Structure 1
């Protein structure tokens, strides 16, 4: 089980949003590279970066910060989402040292784009599915589509997508616990790994996810919980490692 700390970038700073609302923001650090080091020192095996400005503007805005983090930790796998809408952006991120690019809104609007990316950048593409009540939300969660999360995931299963990041936006940043039932339902509908996101609050959530790891839930993204201290990442990582061994 991968425990993946999230570093959400807005105006060059590390922040957290509640339910994706840009006006409901908490700034946790003015130096995202220092934040990344904090999680690396705690033993993380992957980082999750989000360009929040990019998600709303449809193009990278915090690219230099992403590059700085990737260069500071060249051996650490990094996944990045937010505003990735063309091949040039994917190439630039991979050149900067990022391992995975997460496609969200564009995947809903243009599935062929994801298929083409998987062919050009095999092993480097993840699809991020943000859903509310099982339906996909797009454009920084501002719009709710008529596409179900399961239908969308199945579209990309055979295209070569490396994983699905599944976010329950009703719980994201609300510290209400992860929606394990919906996450497992999605994971069991496809054969590629699913990374849970949204609502992970304490060790009970992590233990609950560990229990369904064999059903396709390969990791979880940790946000507000590690910033507010309801989860100690070093302790959680040690626990997960002990279970794995």
Structure 2
């Protein structure tokens, strides 16, 4: 199944004020240094990005998001911005939206049924539930531990709660350039919710693979920073694939 509006969303992961890529989300395992987040937001905007994906790693580890980071990146990029990292109360989610985000990603807090139902009612499509998978379970608290739920079961819970979309990440592949976890993505897609694929994207063929599964978009982080492909190249390759698959 092809998703017509499939998008490639560049990631800006920030730790201690600098853009980084972490191996499997481990704070001590910086694999790529990407410089200033504001400058990178402007670069991605100039390269044709339609949306930015901002992860506040300090907020993820501490549980307290850095709201001025959201404001600075939103203002600099001038693009729709989805943010994550430590958003665990409705009040903080609302603060991020007020600071310029148009979507907020919630992981750990979403495992609470009461929180999920209330947040979905309040924020609607501006809420994205992040399903981070490690060893077949949902990873929480900055990926430092796992819950009992499996990603597919959690996705079905989200569907029942009225969640608009999911961000699905294989923690083992995040920052690895090892390719996406297509089995994980296929399992979560059975919940019939729009899915943003993340973790391991390393090539243009990986983008085609996750689009072919039915994902609505993919996060590209390490691949863009390492020069594996550019946003212009990604858009051209996706368009070329569309041309080949269009009935004649």
Maintained 8 Å contact 1:172/1:197: yes
Cα distance in 2 for partners of 1:8, 1:221 equals 11
TM-score of the pair, normalised by structure 2: 0.91
Instruction: Check the 8 A contact 1:126/1:163 in 2, yes or no.
Output: yes
Q: Matches of 1:70 and 1:161 in 2, distance apart?
A: 24
Q: Which has the higher mean CA deviation after the structures are superposed, 232-241 or 50-59? A: 232-241
Q: Residue 50 of structure 1: SS of its match in structure 2?
A: strand
| 1:190 and 2:191 correspond | yes
Q: CA RMSD in A?
A: 1.6
For structure 2, list consecutive stretches of 5 or more residues without a partner in the other structure.
1-5, 244-248
Q: Which runs of 4+ in 1 moved over 6 A?
A: none
- SS of residue in 2 equivalent to 1:91: helix
Measured in 1, the distance between the counterparts of 2:45 and 2:202 equals 20
Render the CA deviation track for 1:56-90: whole Å, top value 9, x for unaligned: 11111x3212111112234x211111100111111
Looking at structure 2, the residues matched to 244 and 47 of structure 1 have their Cα atoms a distance apart, in angstroms, of 24
Deviation at 1:243, TM superposition (A): 4.5
TM-score, normalised on structure 1? 0.92
Counterparts of 1:9 and 1:244 in 2: how far apart (Å)? Answer: 34
Give SS of 1:9's match: strand
Within 2, Cα distance between the matches of 1:143 and 1:226? 29
Q: How many residues align?
A: 238
Task: Kindly indicate which of the two structures has a greater share of residues assigned to strand.
Answer: 1
What is residue 177 of structure 2 aligned with on the other side?
175
Query: Unpaired runs of 5+ in structure 1?
Result: none
CA gap of 1:241–1:193, structure 2 versus 1, over 3 A, is same
